[in-house]
């Protein structure tokens, strides 16, 4: 089973790209979705996060905007939150791998927003970075509810620069040229991964669709 890390900065189209891999029949683990489940009513993170950050639990669930106000732009608080949440996410990832193995999947995608920032790329066979022009990124993110320039800049400050992610990737999927182009790149990534002649481990940078693949 080939383990592929899928990552990209906010607003780059990572979730849409993950869905494209899933449409191709590849099991996808969504770290953000797991966190949402942990924060939902009855989720395993509600108690410890609520205790560490008073006032963020509303109607039995973690209120993400309230939590963001307490941690965004505050490195020490963010580390405290991650120390609670990351082990819980890790447990759900183990379950995902067990299900994928039982289904005899040849490739799995781990959709992890902060893959490089947490050193998670070291545990991957290959890394796919989803990217788009900076102006497209900002336009997408600022169109979201409860988002403004200051909050976006604080989020970007926590994330590795897109240019560095692209250099460190094995594949780069550009979502700035439309959905059809992105789907074609997804299919090309899978073709290369399944090609027995492809050397492993991959050497950066191999961008989807470039000559030499």
Q: What is the pLDDT along the chain (213 residues), one digit of tens a residue?
A: 999 999 998 989 999 999 999 999 999 999 888 899 999 999 999 999 999 999 999 999 999 999 999 998 888 999 999 999 989 988 888 889 999 999 999 999 999 988 998 888 988 999 999 999 999 998 899 999 888 888 888 888 888 899 999 999 999 999 999 999 999 999 999 999 998 887 565 654 444 444 333
What is the spatial distance between Cα 99 and Cα 74, in angstroms, rounded to a whole number?
37
Residue 7: partners with Cβ closer than 8 Å, 6 or more residues away: 14, 111, 112, 113, 114, 115, 116, 127, 128, 129, 130, 165
Query: Would strands 28-30 and 107-111 be described as parallel, antiparallel, or unpaired?
Result: parallel
Does the structural domain 1-27+105-213 have CATH classification 3.40.50.300? yes
- Taking the domains of the chain in order of start, what are their residue ranges? 1-27+105-213, 40-104
Report DSSP letters for 86-113, one per residue.
Answer: HHHHHHHHHHHHHHHHHTT-SEEEEE-T
174: which residues sit within 8 A by CB, 6+ positions away? 131, 132, 181, 182, 185
**Angle CA(131)–CA(133)–CA(137) in degrees, nearest 5?**
80
């Amino acid at each position: 089973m080939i383990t592929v890390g899928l990552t990209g900065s906010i607003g780059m189209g990572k979730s849409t790209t993950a869905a494209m891999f899933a449409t191709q029949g590849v099991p996808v683990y969504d770290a953000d979705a797991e966190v949402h489940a942990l924060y939902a009513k009855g989720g395993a993170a509600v108690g410890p996060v609520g205790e560490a950050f008073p006032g963020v639990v509303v109607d039995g669930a973690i209120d993400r905007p309230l939590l963001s106000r307490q941690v965004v732009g505050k490195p020490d608080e963010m580390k405290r939150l991650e120390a609670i949440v990351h082990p819980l996410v890790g447990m759900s990832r183990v379950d995902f791998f067990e299900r994928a193995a039982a289904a005899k999947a040849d490739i799995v995608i781990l959709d992890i927003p902060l893959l490089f920032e947490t050193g998670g790329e070291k545990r991957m066979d290959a890394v796919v970075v989803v990217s788009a022009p900076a102006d497209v990124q900002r336009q997408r993110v600022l169109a979201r509810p409860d988002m403004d320039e200051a909050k976006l800049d604080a989020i970007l400050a926590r994330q590795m620069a897109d240019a560095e992610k692209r250099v460190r990737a094995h594949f780069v999927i550009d979502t700035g040229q439309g959905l059809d182009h992105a789907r074609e790149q997804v299919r090309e990534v899978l073709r290369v991964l399944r090609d027995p002649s492809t050397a492993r481990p991959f050497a950066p940078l191999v961008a989807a669709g470039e000559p030499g693949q």
